[in-house]
Structure 1
């Protein structure tokens, strides 16, 4: 029997039983044959500069310099059919944040690496976030607490409804979050994890999110091997699996900006980032943590995926 959330808290891969992910999946199959859920629609990310591209599954040892208009397009209102940025809704419409920046209930689970709070890079990241908070355009964002700073390795399920961002194949769609968390927990505990990885701050995406690149080949291999393994054992196959870009978010956009405001913001955050970037080329992250959450302000670890002994 899979431990309750309180009993299984902070277990490691080395302490798990030999139960297989296939056995865990059997516990969730409520019908003989489950229709495979198609991958969720992937919103296109239009850029105005066509010659900039970073292959996610390729190790990039050197920093890149994406064009400013790439991020301007993310921030501005011009040409957008949706009135609000992604994940922003009225309080009762299922988003992560309301239009005034209030964090909303958005339950789910995920696999993340927290930034090592004992490392100097954590303090530098926190200071950079605080400096961005002081800018004139700060009201266009809802910022996350320092203690929640993390890098997502593999997204689980989340949202209102729970199937908002993908669903495991061969699992009935009426399965509860508690049961799907038990399923993922048991499946993930069969995997061989790592003690930690190192990433570097490549650039600042749209003025609110660090684009994090693996700092060395070992970290690159560890992260992508883990993503592939989690896709296999959870059954969560998303269309962006191979193009996913690791990041450390400082907050969420809650409104679109007029062009002059966006240009001013990009110029200001670029200057802040360039001053901090030399000290953010070896950000130490801990092991992969399987976490549950009720909203975007706190991620509660229930298991850490360490190397098997």
Structure 2
């Protein structure tokens, strides 16, 4: 029996073949059809999970459940040790174009040179206030997050705006960026029957995480370098005020 497509929340349409028939982004560039991650170097500012926290346990348990779901073979799972929330996107070698790159630096600049340049610029960065985040919902890619309160959301925006000003670029989605913790990338989108099973499952996951960890404990924001999506090496840590 065909699933009722109206039962799929709009924020899940990207995962549904019926709603999004186009090829999945990043396939063949970030990862292959076997789910193996490919070399794709860059840098970024992230907050890793606090090891040993209830939030980390709840999120790790949820990720494990994802791997057992119908259609899990259509997902390329990142390493559990890489779980983090991206605070501000850095540069990446596969996206050498404005406005994803500082306008005052040639787009041909090697990644290692860009990382060194950003470290120099970030030496002048003043960390912002502490913030608290919560899980808002789950998708086949992982979890979406937001500030718990309006003040938390304003603090997150302040961090991002000042990082953008200092590093010299803003992505087109700078104002609308959705905070998230990635579990996996889609190799293939789900058919309607698989998608219907995930809709119920993702609601359950969201409820369970919010019960166990109403606030997601994160380590201090850190500027990181990476070779692929499985490890983010902390180079500079910004302890909030």
Same fold (TM over 0.5): yes
Local SS of the residue matching 2:214? coil
Tell me, in whole angstroms, the C-alpha distance in 1 between the residues paired with 2:150 and 2:15.
33
Equivalent position to 1:86, from 25, 31, 34:
25
* Residue 268 (structure 1) aligns with: 201
Unpaired stretches in structure 2, ≥5 consecutive residues: none
CA deviations 1:188-210 (Å, max 9, x no partner) are 12111157532111111x33321
* Residue 75 (structure 1) aligns with: 15
Deviation of 1:296 after TM superposition, in Å, equals 0.1
* TM-score, scaled relative to structure 2: 0.89
Counterparts of residues 187-202 of structure 1 (less than 5 Å):
187-194=121-128, 196-202=130-136
Pair 1:304 & 2:240 matched: no
Equivalent position to 1:133, from 53, 67, 78:
67
Residues 269 and 107 from structure 1, CA distance in 2 versus in 1: closer, same or farther, beyond 3 angstroms?
Answer: same
Tell me, in whole angstroms, the C-alpha distance in 2 between the residues paired with 1:281 and 1:80.
32
Tell me, in whole angstroms, the C-alpha distance in 2 between the residues paired with 1:194 and 1:237.
19
Residues 164 and 124 from structure 1, CA distance in 2 versus in 1: closer, same or farther, beyond 3 angstroms?
Answer: farther
Local SS of the residue matching 2:9? helix
CA deviations 1:184-241 (Å, max 9, x no partner) are 111112111157532111111x333211111234432332111001110111121111
Pair 1:170 & 2:104 matched: yes
* Residue 219 (structure 1) aligns with: 152
Tell me, in whole angstroms, the C-alpha distance in 1 between the residues paired with 2:220 and 2:101.
24
Aligned residues: 237
Residues 81 and 138 from structure 1, CA distance in 2 versus in 1: closer, same or farther, beyond 3 angstroms?
Answer: closer
* Residue 93 (structure 2) aligns with: 159
Pair 1:149 & 2:92 matched: no
Tell me, in whole angstroms, the C-alpha distance in 2 between the residues paired with 1:235 and 1:179.
15
Residues 233 and 190 from structure 1, CA distance in 2 versus in 1: closer, same or farther, beyond 3 angstroms?
Answer: same
CA deviations 1:10-45 (Å, max 9, x no partner) are xxxxxxxxxxxxxxxxxxxxxxxxxxxxxxxxxxxx
* TM-score, scaled relative to structure 1: 0.71
Local SS of the residue matching 2:102? coil
Local SS of the residue matching 1:157? strand
Local SS of the residue matching 2:106? coil
Tell me, in whole angstroms, the C-alpha distance in 2 between the residues paired with 1:244 and 1:178.
26
Tell me, in whole angstroms, the C-alpha distance in 2 between the residues paired with 1:224 and 1:71.
22
Where does structure 1 differ by over 6 angstroms across 4 or more consecutive aligned residues? none
Local SS of the residue matching 2:190? coil
